[in-house]
Amino acid sequence: MIGLGIATTVLLAATTSVTPLSNDSFGAFLGSGAEGVDRAELLEHWLGGTEMTVGRTYLPGDLWSNIEGRPEFLAPWAGWRQEKDDRLFVLNVPMLERNEDDLPDHLVGQLLRSGASGSYDQHFRVLGERLVAAGLADAVLVLGWEMNGTTYTHRCAPDPEAWKRYWRRIVTTMRAVPGQDFRFDFAPNRGTDAIEWDRCYPGDDVVDIIGMDTYDQPPGETFDEQISQPYGLQFHVDFAAAHGKPISFPEWGLFRNGDNPEYMRRMLEWIDAVQPVYHSISDYCPHGVWQCVQNPASSEVFRAALSATPPGSGAGGPGRGPRPGEDGDDGAGDPGRGPRPGDG
């Protein structure tokens, strides 16, 4: 990992040219279920043969029975992971059911305290056993992601101390599963949001990776502001270094600032400078670049940086392959993809 002062200096001097990305731990969220696996090959073709080495999905957070990881849900991802040794499977794991039901803070606090006392241990034991049985014992688990925000029931602000105890209990339970080699990724939103995210950090002994979900939206109108803002990109790398942890970007992409090629260029340069364990763009509208054709300028920056062969002449360049939405669809309604949890 490059020291932070160096990384910032490099990026503040960034030009408008697109430099090929050297970090090959690249992934994209392409769909939650089997469709996400099926689309990986098409994305690779669009990138001229660049391999997607990181597959990422979310466990549904509606019911405990889904958070336990149904075998039929895990099977396509297990098949993808086992095809090549260098692949990494990343799974977002909700900490509570009814995870997007807009529950009030007082109820969330009660649920967190119940979890911290062991009421939900059995669900995470089952999940761990099912992951091992499926051949996903080395999965990276993004547990309780974006805990510093307000979107999810598994948020931290209603009771930070209970949240930390509950995280520790989940990790202890899952690490006790025979055959597991899980890594746990603590991944807040960029910025302060509802609570300073270091107040939710559960301890070095129960965290393997310190991630960050970061989209092109306020706070942080420019990329430099996204770097320097309180609890922003710079703080993220500093905090991880202080705790001796590698970093990740489980979710990133465009958002409220629209089709912004400068953001795309700068974010890819940041990834190259700080060398995360993995990064995964959220590839659907409004965040994405392949399944969302409403971001053409950013799409070309992304493709130029990650393509195995530079885009050539003609309609799409060598090895281009089809993109969802090029038959007249805008990419926002691609069947089976569904929204990212929390997008409403």
Q: How far apart are CA 199 and CA 293, in angstroms?
A: 39
Residue 146 bears catalytic tag: yes
Residue type, 340: R
Whole-angstrom distance, CA of residue 131 vs CA of residue 238: 32
Catalytic residue selected from 146, 269, 300, 326: 146
Catalytic residue among 68, 97, 196, 251: 251
Alpha-carbon distance of 45 to 43, in angstroms, equals 5
Phi, psi (degrees; rounded to nearest 5) at 141: -110, 115
CB 141 within 8 A of CB 184: yes
For the CA atoms of the chain, what is the radius of gyration?
Answer: 19
Query: Which two three-digit tokens encode residue 292?
Result: 């969302």
Contact 343, 36 (CB under 8 A): no
CB 271 within 8 Å of CB 23: yes
Give Cα separations from 67 to 81, 82, 263 (angstroms).
20, 22, 34
Q: Which residues contact 186 (CB under 8 A, 6 or more apart)?
A: 143, 167, 200, 201, 202, 207, 209, 210, 211
Instruction: Spell 11-33 as b/e; 16+ CB within 10 A means b.
Output: beebeeebeebebebbbbbbbbb
Which residues does the annotation mark as catalytic? 146, 251
